[in-house]
Structure 1
Amino acid sequence: MGRLQGKVAIITGAAQGMGAAHARRFLAEGAAVTITDIDAERGEALARELGERAAFYRLDVADEENWATVVDATEARFGPVTALVNNAGIIGSPTRCADLTQAEFQRVCAINQTAVFLGTKHVIPAMIRAGGGSIVNISSISGIVAIYGTPNVAYAASKFAVRGITKQVAIEYGKQGIRVNSVHPGYIKTKMMTDALDEDGIRVASASVPIGRVGEVEDVSNLVVFLASDESGFITGSEYIIDGGLTAL
């Protein structure tokens, strides 16, 4: 029996990259999964690949009405939601604070921060009906420490906010059986990384990590599965750094 047997999950930003890896692992571990993304073509293709226990719904994570529709559709198809992975996010422009526009700041925060609030808000009633659930919020090491040489105050603000949302919701709904934890990846080899860095850049990044390599998406999926499973039943309100020791320096 899989570690997520009988779970019903919604995963945002799941058409590709880390989100797609999480969706594949959740299915392999026995969950039914709603894949959401704004990229309908890739999302629908992934749902077809994964079979009848997967469904795709287009979701603008910053749109509250869209969230309500997706949660209702998931419940109608698979039953009450018992796991949510708030994975969708953007980096935004690498701009120092004095040069950053308010519009760009708000755009990044809408996708990285407000969306976490909206997703959490709309799955809580379903999780209460189910007798509990697990919410896993994907933040970043930029939600733990400031990153020198990477000017992006909007990204830092949004990722620190995810950490705060996580802790507050965890204490508000713990007695209803809802657990909430945040995951803080460092360098992970995703399309976002390979688009930004050539092989030399990835080698430099790897050399800066005490473990001696950048992370793979499977490393993060292993942690997300654990936090969504009953194995982590006494864990809530915590942040999990997965960076190969980078922030320990």
Structure 2
Amino acid sequence: MMDITLNAPKLFDLSGQVALVTGAGSGIGQRIAIGLAQCGADVALLDRRTDGGLAETAEAVAAAGRKSLSLAADVTSGPALAEAVARTEAELGPLSLAVNAAGIANANPAEEMAEDQFQTLMDINLKGVFLSCQAEARAMLAHGRGAIVNIASMSGVIVNRGLSQCHYNASKAGVIHMSKSMAMEWVDRGVRVNTISPGYTATPMNTRPEMVHQTKLFEEQTPMGRMASVDEMVGPAVFLLSDAASFVTGVDLLVDGGFCCW
């Protein structure tokens, strides 16, 4: 007789787990943090924002019936991240899940780009993800279990036509390959690492009034004919963090409306 003891819906249940989300004050990070709470996790919310974004996220986590911890920290600081993980474990419990969504984007032709513009973006988008993973994994490896999802971009796989952002593209390609490398370093110690590469997504940065013409181009270039909503990044994140993906590590999951097929 076929074994049907597996409870498929429970595979996505994050009850009893503690997550840390960087970039939790806005956009994709904010929505994923709320989604993890809605799936049962308590969530530490980390961002350098001081405009109330973290408070909004914390309110939504509370509305989902879960606990949160708000952490004002810069992902370019290793000591600050180590302290954030320590506080998370002291106040919420052993860290088992993490999503690293903190990042910035800007553009400039390569031949005109100032060195500090290049370096600042790399420090946040690439070094920041490395330091976040390092701090999170140190805790997870000590517990013998954990799952990390890093938010990359389809720009780490393709070059966006019409956008002069070689530094951004390079940073996201780096996140993808760095995540694969970490996945293999930790594969036999209970910690999984994967990436999500969103396509054009309707974040606050992409929906500013001055972006209306650019947004129209983004929609026209995407096979599905629209940008993703931030809600559409929640399911992929929950999947990769949950037991539903227990045999998945070192994967880059494109969530791009078919963009990379053309």
Return the TM-score normalized by structure 1. 0.94
User: Matches of residues 202-221 of structure 1 in structure 2 within 5 Å?
Assistant: 202-221=215-234
> In structure 1, how many angstroms separate the alpha carbons of the residues matched to 2:139 and 2:192?
14
- For the pair 1:27 / 2:12, whether they are aligned, the reply is no
Q: How far does the alpha carbon of each residue in 1:87-138 deviate from its partner, in whole angstroms, 9 at most, with x for none?
A: 011002x111111111111100011000111011111121123321111010
How much has 1:42 moved relative to structure 2? Answer: 2.1
How much has 1:49 moved relative to structure 2? Answer: 4.2
CA contact (8 A) 2:17 2:41 kept: yes
Aligned to 1:46: 57
User: Matches of residues 1-249 of structure 1 in structure 2 within 5 Å?
Assistant: 3-40=13-50, 41-51=52-62, 53-92=67-106, 94-195=107-208, 197-198=211-212, 201-249=214-262
C-alpha RMSD over aligned residues: 1.5
CA contact (8 A) 1:80 1:129 kept: no
What's the secondary structure of 2:111's corresponding residue? helix
What's the secondary structure of 2:133's corresponding residue? helix
Counterpart of 1:162, as a letter, is V
> In structure 2, how many angstroms separate the alpha carbons of the residues matched to 1:247 and 1:64?
34
> In structure 1, how many angstroms separate the alpha carbons of the residues matched to 2:132 and 2:28?
18
Q: How far does the alpha carbon of each residue in 1:64-99 deviate from its partner, in whole angstroms, 9 at most, with x for none?
A: 11101100000001112111111011002x111111
> In structure 1, how many angstroms separate the alpha carbons of the residues matched to 2:27 and 2:100?
14
Gap runs ≥5 in structure 1: none
Q: Which runs of 4+ in 1 moved over 4 A?
A: none
Aligned to 2:5: none
> In structure 2, how many angstroms separate the alpha carbons of the residues matched to 1:142 and 1:225?
22
Counterpart of 2:42, as a letter, is A
CA contact (8 A) 2:38 2:61 kept: no
How much has 1:202 moved relative to structure 2? Answer: 3.3
> In structure 1, how many angstroms separate the alpha carbons of the residues matched to 2:75 and 2:114?
22
CA contact (8 A) 1:10 1:34 kept: yes
> In structure 1, how many angstroms separate the alpha carbons of the residues matched to 2:100 and 2:76?
12
Which has the higher mean CA deviation after the structures are superposed, 37-46 or 73-82?
Answer: 37-46
Return the TM-score normalized by structure 2. 0.90
CA contact (8 A) 1:166 1:237 kept: yes
> In structure 2, how many angstroms separate the alpha carbons of the residues matched to 1:205 and 1:117?
29
> In structure 1, how many angstroms separate the alpha carbons of the residues matched to 2:29 and 2:60?
15
> In structure 2, how many angstroms separate the alpha carbons of the residues matched to 1:36 and 1:236?
24
How much has 1:19 moved relative to structure 2? Answer: 1.1
CA contact (8 A) 2:192 2:250 kept: yes
Taking a change above 3 Å as real, the CA distance of residues 45 and 148 of structure 1, as seen in their structure-2 partners, is closer
Question: Number of residues paired by the alignment?
Answer: 247
> In structure 2, how many angstroms separate the alpha carbons of the residues matched to 1:241 and 1:42?
27
